[in-house]
Amino acid sequence: FATVVDRARAADLTAFAHTGAPFDRIVETLGPPREPGRHPLFQVMLNHRSGARPALRLAGLRATELPQRRPVAKYPLL
């Protein structure tokens, strides 16, 4: 298990170096097989936040956090 986690971490850190790459260009370049109803590049997305989020401060503006409007998963849960 530790090996899998280490490999995933390494892949993630490498991917972070390319956060500015346009998504449509990535899909076009990789040319993954397309299946209706499935995301073309991944089947699992993980988003982790620990602790409270810092307050958003904008000079001269007041911001209010709104509740999450999406009651379902953004991507299919497989």
Would residue 51 count as lying in a domain? yes
Measured at the CA of 46, the angle between CA 28 and CA 44, to 5 degrees, comes to 55
- Could you give the C-alpha distances from 19 to 12, 13, 15, 22, 65, in angstroms and in order? 11, 10, 7, 8, 25
Q: Are 56 and 63 in contact (CB under 8 A)?
A: yes
Tokens of 51: 């602790």
Would residue 35 count as lying in a domain? yes
Would residue 32 count as lying in a domain? yes
Q: Give the pTM.
A: 0.37
Would residue 19 count as lying in a domain? yes
Residue 56 or 48, more confident: 56
pLDDT in tens, 10-54: 988 888 888 888 888 888 898 888 888 777 777 777 666 677 777
Would residue 40 count as lying in a domain? yes
> How many domains is the chain built from?
1
Would residue 43 count as lying in a domain? yes
